């Protein structure tokens, strides 16, 4: 087995080998799924040295950055491109020079500024050529000019949404349609995109664009390019003749993506293209397990949203390691003991950077990220930096606000004669009181908090149907990019099962695993919802509470079985307190009972919320109710 696959396959499988011994450099017998192959003479030489140089988990390591450049140069259109995060400097310049050297000599290399217009991006009417020829002459845009090569996007974090959609359409179809200036043309645009991300921690390129780029690379060191082959001509020829991937390879990549919480269906496809490019670079005729493991490290690991579930049963049943040279060399049947999906998943896990591991393990945002920043600065401060202009006001632009130059000059103009005191030919005198800053308004961010009754009475009747209705509401929240949270109440108290997140996959998984049984502590659930709503409001977000219950409260606020009358009184008191805190109109009560009880309607009145009986309110009515409530909340944005 070549040394290079120690990082893509052997390094990952070493974690599962008895004793953790790394695979030796000598060729090993072929294993399951084609995991181990003897090195072909003259092929994969560069790949072997590149992948062995960087330790596992070093996202953006110098050798790994060079390998990404080689794979992208091999198949730029198939892989979509790379999101290159890092400041301008020698590391980025050398990586770009390496990529350009690895591309074919005739491959186009175009640069695109973030504020480019449609005329230059898509093409259109060539006005000078039309005037000279006396007929319409079309001009190709940047997308068509970059066909067969690479388009370099500077300051990708500032790319407007309209331009991002144009780029996404070109990456999807490999063509650009021009329907403007009286022209209707279609140009080929099979290109790879290099998105240079120079933004701050909370700034990112458009998500629609990142989803279509195979590699997300953090470049913090000068790449090591001495081990990269000088020419990829033979690898490109092998890529065209590559055999179709086996079902085991496809299953392993899809299973790894699901285990890492990746919801996009494009990501496993991009990982498969990366595995094919790695196989061609290594001199193989078909994708092997080492190539799939390498693709998991480079494509899937940077997109992970959760840690894969630990395999405790497998670890408990594994036999103890045997000492001796046979254990170090590896038994011929060792590959069969570790299925291909496990090896690929282990490779992706090994590539997770330490900071991502810490964040996923805590299941919470990194301190200082966007969510924390909103909590410290408040909605008005955030609105001062982004949003839709709604006017101007006097203010100091040095505090981070945007200056309105025209209104500032207009405010200073009436005072020029007095300020110049008879002087002539001087510049306009602008003083501090003349400064006018933009007032920006942004839609209020919404957090949909699902408070689900998992008590014994609810589980007996309609808990499964309530879960289905909640999934429909989750999908509607995801479409609006709302945050979602899940509170479950049963037994003697309520529990926050899912903190506010935008991950639809996590929310669905948490909802599906919701157990049922026990009492109905309705008052405790409302108190937990009120505490979470207060926290969200302090962070500049507007809570939307969706209470799903059958209304059969039988546990008091203190968690005791004090009788139904006391439990209902406590629930009504908690509901009125929630309404007094400004949640009226931001609560929905979904009645899960097979025959709605009067108390559920009484509770909805105490909350100032609409009452939606689940037997009568179908999925369309529930979704419409949530959308109407969210629309009301979105109308109250933050203004500064």
Provide the percentage of residues in the chain whose pLDDT is more than 70: 68
Residue 373, pLDDT above cutoff 90: no
When pLDDT is averaged across residues 152-180 and rounded to a whole number, the result is: 90
User: Biggest alpha carbon distance in the chain?
Assistant: 99
**Which residue(s) pair with 493 in the sheet?**
490
Q: How confident is the model at residue 319 (pLDDT cuts 50, 70, 90)?
A: very low
User: What pLDDT score does 604 carry?
Assistant: 87
- What's the Cα-to-Cα distance from 151 to each of 104, 144, 155, 190, 571, rounded to whole Å? 14, 10, 13, 10, 60
- Tell me which residue has tokens 């059969």: 552
The token duo for 606 is 């105490």
Asked if residues 86 and 92 have their Cβ atoms less than 8 Å apart, the reply is: yes
Highest average pLDDT, of 183-187, 229-233, 339-343, 357-361, comes from 183-187
The token duo for 586 is 């931001």
User: What pLDDT score does 70 carry?
Assistant: 92
When pLDDT is averaged across residues 374-391 and rounded to a whole number, the result is: 51
Least confident stretch, 95-109, 244-258, 332-346, 434-448: 332-346
* Alpha-carbon 86 to chain mean position: 18
Q: What is the 3-state secondary structure (H, E, C) of 327-390?
A: HHHCCCCHHHHCCHHHHHHHHHHHCCCHHHHHHHHHCCCCCCCHHHHHHHHHHHHHHCCCCEEE
pLDDT in tens, 284-295: 999 999 999 999
CA angle 246–248–251, rounded 5-degree value: 115
Q: Are strands 541-549 and 587-591 parallel, antiparallel or unpaired?
A: parallel
Q: Which fold has domain 445-639?
A: Rossmann fold (3.40.50)
Q: Which one of 3.40.50.720, 3.50.50.60, 3.40.50.300, 1.10.3720.10 gives the CATH number of domain 5-307+338-350?
A: 3.40.50.300
User: What pLDDT score does 79 carry?
Assistant: 95
Residue 638, pLDDT above cutoff 60: no
What is the number of H-type helices and E-type strands within the chain?
30, 18
Q: How confident is the model at residue 49 (pLDDT cuts 50, 70, 90)?
A: very low
* Alpha-carbon 583 to chain mean position: 30
Helix (H, G, I), strand (E, B) or coil at 224: coil
Residue 576, pLDDT above cutoff 80: yes
Residue ranges per structural domain of the chain: 5-307+338-350, 377-442, 445-639
CA 235 – CA 74 distance, rounded (Å)? 7
User: What pLDDT score does 212 carry?
Assistant: 94
Residue 25, pLDDT above cutoff 50: no
Residue 183, pLDDT above cutoff 60: yes
Residue 210, pLDDT above cutoff 80: yes
User: What pLDDT score does 192 carry?
Assistant: 95
CA angle 436–439–442, rounded 5-degree value: 160
Residue 24, pLDDT above cutoff 50: no
Residue 252, pLDDT above cutoff 60: yes
Asked if residues 438 and 401 have their Cβ atoms less than 8 Å apart, the reply is: yes
User: What pLDDT score does 462 carry?
Assistant: 58
When pLDDT is averaged across residues 17-40 and rounded to a whole number, the result is: 35
Q: Radius of gyration over alpha carbons of the chain, in Å?
A: 30
How many Cβ atoms are within 10 Å of 144's Cβ, its own excluded?
Answer: 24
Residue 464, pLDDT above cutoff 50: yes
- Do 445-639 and 5-307+338-350 fall under one CATH topology? yes
Q: How confident is the model at residue 214 (pLDDT cuts 50, 70, 90)?
A: very high
* Alpha-carbon 587 to chain mean position: 29
The H or E element spanning position 629 is: helix 619-634
Q: What rounded mean pLDDT belongs to the chain?
A: 74
Provide the percentage of residues in the chain whose pLDDT is more than 90: 21
Residue 191, pLDDT above cutoff 90: yes
Residue 209, pLDDT above cutoff 90: yes
Residue 483, pLDDT above cutoff 50: yes
- What's the Cα-to-Cα distance from 160 to each of 96, 116, 142, 205, rounded to whole Å? 24, 9, 16, 9
Q: How confident is the model at residue 276 (pLDDT cuts 50, 70, 90)?
A: very high
CA 189 – CA 178 distance, rounded (Å)? 12
pTM of the model: 0.47
When pLDDT is averaged across residues 616-636 and rounded to a whole number, the result is: 57
User: What pLDDT score does 81 carry?
Assistant: 95
Nearest to 109 by CA among 124, 123, 98: 98
Asked if residues 365 and 61 have their Cβ atoms less than 8 Å apart, the reply is: no
pLDDT in tens, 354-367: 555 555 555 433 33
pLDDT in tens, 433-459: 889 888 876 666 788 888 888 887 665
User: What pLDDT score does 458 carry?
Assistant: 61
CA 428 – CA 405 distance, rounded (Å)? 13
Nearest to 458 by CA among 532, 568, 547, 569: 547
- What's the Cα-to-Cα distance from 236 to each of 102, 276, 277, 291, 634, rounded to whole Å? 11, 11, 8, 16, 51
* Residue scoring higher pLDDT (16 or 507): 507
Residue 165, pLDDT above cutoff 50: yes
Q: How confident is the model at residue 315 (pLDDT cuts 50, 70, 90)?
A: very low
User: What pLDDT score does 176 carry?
Assistant: 92
Highest average pLDDT, of 178-192, 395-409, 608-622, comes from 178-192
pLDDT in tens, 144-163: 999 999 999 998 988 888 89
For the CA atoms of 496, 497, 503, 507, the dihedral, rounded to the nearest 10 degrees, stands at -120
Helix (H, G, I), strand (E, B) or coil at 282: helix
* Alpha-carbon 230 to chain mean position: 35
Read off the DSSP letter of residue 157.
Answer: G
Residue 632, pLDDT above cutoff 80: no
When pLDDT is averaged across residues 184-191 and rounded to a whole number, the result is: 92
Residue 5, pLDDT above cutoff 80: no
Q: Are strands 150-153 and 192-197 parallel, antiparallel or unpaired?
A: parallel
* Residue scoring higher pLDDT (88 or 467): 88
Q: What is the DSSP string of 219-268?
A: --S----TTS-S--HHHHHHHHTPPPPPHHHHHHHHHHHHHTT---SHHH
User: What pLDDT score does 558 carry?
Assistant: 83
Residue 233, pLDDT above cutoff 70: yes
* Residue scoring higher pLDDT (360 or 529): 529
CA angle 538–539–543, rounded 5-degree value: 80
* Residue scoring higher pLDDT (143 or 221): 143
Instruction: State the distance between the two ends of the chain, measured CA to CA, in whole angstroms.
Output: 62
* Residue scoring higher pLDDT (377 or 298): 298
Helix (H, G, I), strand (E, B) or coil at 435: coil
Q: What is the 3-state secondary structure (H, E, C) of 6-35?
A: HHHHHHHHCCCCHHHCCCCCCCCCCCHHHC
Nearest to 106 by CA among 145, 66, 142, 153: 145
H helical segments located in 492-593 = 504-512, 522-538, 564-578
The residue length of the chain stands at 640
Half-sphere exposure at residue 136, Cβ-oriented, CA atoms within 13 angstroms? 9
């Amino acid at each position: 087995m070549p040394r290079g696959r120690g990082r893509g396959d052997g390094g990952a499988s070493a974690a599962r080998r008895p004793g953790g011994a790394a695979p030796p450099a000598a060729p090993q017998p072929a294993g399951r799924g084609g995991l181990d192959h003897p090195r072909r003479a003259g092929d994969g030489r560069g790949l072997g040295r590149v992948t062995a140089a960087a330790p596992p988990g070093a996202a953006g390591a110098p050798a790994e950055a060079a390998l990404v450049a080689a794979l992208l140069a091999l198949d730029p259109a198939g892989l979509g491109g790379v999101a290159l995060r890092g400041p301008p400097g020698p590391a980025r310049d050398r990586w770009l020079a390496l990529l350009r050297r690895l591309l074919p000599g005739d491959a186009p290399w175009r640069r695109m500024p973030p504020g480019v217009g449609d005329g230059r991006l898509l093409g259109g009417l060539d006005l000078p050529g039309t005037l000279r020829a006396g007929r319409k002459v079309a001009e190709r845009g940047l997308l068509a000019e970059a066909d067969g090569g690479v388009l370099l996007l500077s300051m990708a974090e500032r790319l407007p949404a309209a331009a991002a959609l144009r780029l996404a359409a070109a990456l999807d179809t490999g063509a650009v349609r021009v329907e403007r200036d009286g022209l209707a043309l279609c140009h080929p645009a099979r290109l790879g995109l290099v998105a240079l991300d120079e933004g701050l921690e909370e700034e990112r390129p458009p998500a629609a664009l990142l989803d279509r780029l195979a590699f997300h690379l953090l470049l913090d060191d000068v790449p090591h390019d001495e081990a990269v082959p000088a020419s990829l001509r033979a690898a490109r020829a092998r890529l065209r003749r590559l055999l179709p991937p086996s079902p085991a390879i496809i299953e392993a990549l899809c299973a790894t993506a699901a285990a890492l919480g990746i919801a996009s269906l494009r990501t496993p496809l991009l990982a498969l293209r990366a595995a094919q490019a790695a196989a061609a670079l290594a001199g193989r005729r078909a994708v092997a397990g080492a190539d799939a493991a390498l693709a998991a490290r480079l494509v899937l690991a940077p997109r992970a949203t959760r840690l894969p579930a630990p395999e405790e049963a497998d670890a408990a049943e594994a036999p103890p390691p045997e000492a001796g040279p046979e254990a170090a060399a590896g038994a011929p049947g060792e590959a069969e003991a570790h299925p291909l999906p496990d090896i690929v998943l282990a490779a992706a896990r090994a590539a997770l950077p330490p900071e991502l591991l810490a964040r996923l393990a805590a299941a919470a945002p990194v301190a200082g990220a966007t969510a924390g920043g909103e909590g410290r600065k408040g909605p008005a401060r955030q609105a001062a930096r982004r949003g839709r202009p709604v006017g101007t006001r006097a203010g100091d632009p040095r505090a981070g606000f945007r200056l309105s130059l025209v209104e500032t000059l207009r405010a200073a103009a009436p005072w020029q004669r007095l300020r110049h005191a008879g002087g002539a030919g001087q510049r306009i005198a602008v003083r501090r009181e003349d400064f006018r800053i933009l007032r920006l308004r942004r839609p209020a961010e919404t957090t949909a908090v699902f408070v689900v009754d998992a008590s014994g009475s609810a589980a007996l009747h309609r808990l499964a149907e309530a879960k289905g209705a909640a999934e429909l509401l989750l999908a509607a929240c995801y479409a609006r990019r709302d945050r979602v949270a899940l509170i479950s109440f049963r037994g003697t108290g309520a529990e926050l099962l899912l903190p506010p997140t935008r991950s639809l996959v996590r929310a669905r998984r948490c909802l599906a695993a919701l157990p049922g049984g026990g009492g109905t502590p309705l008052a405790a659930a409302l108190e937990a919802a009120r505490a979470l709503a207060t926290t969200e409001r302090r962070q500049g977000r507007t809570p939307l509470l969706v209470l799903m219950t059958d209304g059969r409260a039988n546990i008091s606020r203190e968690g005791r079985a004090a009788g139904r009358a006391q439990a209902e009184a406590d629930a009504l008191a908690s509901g009125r307190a929630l309404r007094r805190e400004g949640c009226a109109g931001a609560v929905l009560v979904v009645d899960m009972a097979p025959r709605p009880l009067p108390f559920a309607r009484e509770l909805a009145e105490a909350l100032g919320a609409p009452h939606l009986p689940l037997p009568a309110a179908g999925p369309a009515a529930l979704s419409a109710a949530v959308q109407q409530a969210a629309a009301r909340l979105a109308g109250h944005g933050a203004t500064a």
